[in-house]
Structure 1
Amino acid sequence: MENLLLLHGALGSSTTMEPLKQALQDTFLVHTLDFSGHGGKPLPQEPFTMHLFVQDILQFLEQEQISSTHIFGYSMGGYAALILAMHHPECIRSIYTLATKFAWSEEAAQKEIKLLNPTKVEEKVPAFAAALANRHTPQDWKQVMHHTAGMMLQLGQSPILSTETLPKVQLPVRVAVGDRDNMVSVEETLWAYRLLPDARLQVQPNTRHPLEALPVCELSQQIRQFIGQLTVYPSVTH
């Protein structure tokens, strides 16, 4: 079986990928990881950055002795996977991104940071606050949220995936987005698709941003189909 690495999104952890892992493990050797500061891993001394998360992936691949793998990256995980592909394409066979935000600007970052206020989260969505506390224990989920806001601010000031860098990703990529995603637009996903040399575009109908908004059985089948097509049509391009 081929390797498949599942990468979680911002404020997520490997546990959020567990249902998808279970659904795919009959087809692939499925791996998950926790990015620095997530899922109970120690908060780093340095700020959260995409490059830090890319290093997390490289360290995991080395530790598990995985020479190459397909990657499914949800949201921030997809962003990290594409950066990794720019610098270490030999590690990756293909990338499937879902709900990955590509259009980072200072205005976009400020919009997202407004949602990352721990006090307001506790007040307005206490169930979500409790889930985050459980997900990141023994770390303080509020610190994870503050670190994430700082990373988003940095991305807004200096986006890594751009008109200049996306064309460097020569690997097969599928970029997927929900048509009702309130964080990631179809337009920005289409923008990335057009810049990627070997890309496929997928718009999920009646789908919002949260990973759990998409049925696991449907998503797992789409991942199987995408990777399966690569062996039949290894250089399909748009």
Structure 2
Amino acid sequence: MPDLLLLHGALGAASTLQPLQQLLKSDFTVHTLNFQGHGGNTLPDKPFRIEQFAEDVLRYLDQHQLQRVDIFGYSMGGYVALYLALQHPDRVGSIFTLATKFAWSPDTAAKEVKMLQPDKVQEKVPAFAAILAARHQPTDWQEVMRYTADMMLHLGNDPLLTEETLSRIQLPVRVSVGDRDNMVSLQETTWAYQQLPNASLQVFPHTHHPLERVDLNQLQHQIRQFFGKPIV
């Protein structure tokens, strides 16, 4: 069976992709991993950066003797996948992204970081704080959030996926977004699609940003079709 790697989003973990993995395992050898500092992995002694997460993927591919792999990336995972394809096109087959934010600037980063204040999250949405605590234990979820906020501010000042860099990614890419996503706009997703030489664009109806609110049956159907495994 073909290999398919699923990459999680910011504040996520491999565990968040398990329901999707279960739906796809009949036709793919599905791989997942935790980026450094996520899912119980120890926090690194340097800040989170997309470049380091791409290195995590390379390390996983080498450890599992995968020369080339197709990738589905949710949110930040899609950004990592595209950056990896830019740096190591020989290691990536095709990429399917969902809810990946492309419009990074100091202003957009500052807006995102406002929602990443651990004290306020603990106070106002304790249920979400509890989910994060369980997801990342024994690592302190508040530190994971602080590291993530720092990464976003850095990305706002120095985005890696630009008009110039996206235009150099030649492999097949599907960029997708939910029509009710309040974090990623259709406009920025369309912009990315227009820069990529070999891309297609998809909008999922009635779909919000959180992966937990995505219709996974609909998503897995589209993933199968894109990677050449249509449901008969």
Match of 1:56 in 2: 56
Q: Are residues 1:71 and 2:41 paired?
A: no
Cα deviation for residue 210 of structure 1 reads 0.5
Q: 1:8 — aligned with what?
A: 8
Kept in 1, the 8 Å contact 2:207–2:215? The answer is no
Across the aligned residues of Structure 1 and Structure 2, the Cα RMSD in angstroms comes to 1.0
1:10-89 to structure 2, matched below 5 A, reads 10-89=10-89
Amino acid of the structure 1 residue aligned with 2:158: S
2 CA distance for matches of 1:44 and 1:70? 27
Amino acid across the alignment from 1:201: L
SS in 2 for 1:111: helix
CA distance, structure 2, for counterparts of residue 229 and residue 130 of structure 1:
37
Letter in 1 for 2:41: K
Instruction: Give the structure-1-normalised TM-score.
Output: 0.95
Ranges of 4+ aligned residues in structure 1 off by more than 4 Å: none
Residue 87 of structure 1, CA deviation: 1.0
* 2:171 corresponds to 1:171: yes
Residues 82-97 of structure 1 aligned to structure 2 (within 5 Å)? 82-97=82-97
Aligned positions of 1:156-235 closer than 5 A: 156-228=156-228
1:229 shift after superposition: 7.5
Give 1:228 shift.
Answer: 1.0
1:52 Cα deviation from its structure 2 partner: 0.5
- The answer to whether 1:104 aligns with 2:107 is no
| Contact 2:118-2:142 at 8 Å conserved across structures | yes
1:163 and 1:89 map into 2 onto residues whose CA distance is 18
Gaps of 5+ in 2: none
Counterparts of 2:99 and 2:216 in 1: how far apart (Å)? 15
CA distance in 2, matches of 1:87, 1:144: 26
Contact 2:27 2:229 in 1 (8 A): no
Q: Distance in 2 between matches of 1:10 and 1:84?
A: 17
Amino acid in structure 2 at the alignment position of 1:148: T
The residue number in structure 1 matching 2:121 is 121
Distance 1:163 1:108 in 2: 17
Aligned residues: 230
Question: How far, CA to CA, are the matches of 1:108 and 1:186 in structure 2?
Answer: 15
Give deviations 1:44-75, integer Å, cap 9, x for gaps: 00100000000000000000111111100000
CA distance in 2 between counterparts of 1:215 and 1:98 reads: 12
Cα distance per residue 1:118-177 (max 9 Å; x no partner):
111111111100000000000000000000000000000000000110011101000000
Partner of 2:149: 149
Using the TM superposition, give the Cα deviation of residue 213 of structure 1 relative to its aligned residue in structure 2, in angstroms.
1.5
Between the aligned partners of 2:229 and 2:110, the Cα distance in structure 1 is 39
Letter paired with 2:154: Q
Once structures 1 and 2 are overlaid, which stretch shifts more, 221-230 or 142-151? 221-230
Question: Structure 1 CA distance, aligned partners of 2:205 and 2:157?
Answer: 32
SS in 2 for 1:70: strand
Aligned equivalent of 1:236: none
The amino acid that maps onto 1:168 is R
CA distance in structure 1 between the aligned counterparts of 2:68 and 2:21, rounded to whole angstroms = 18
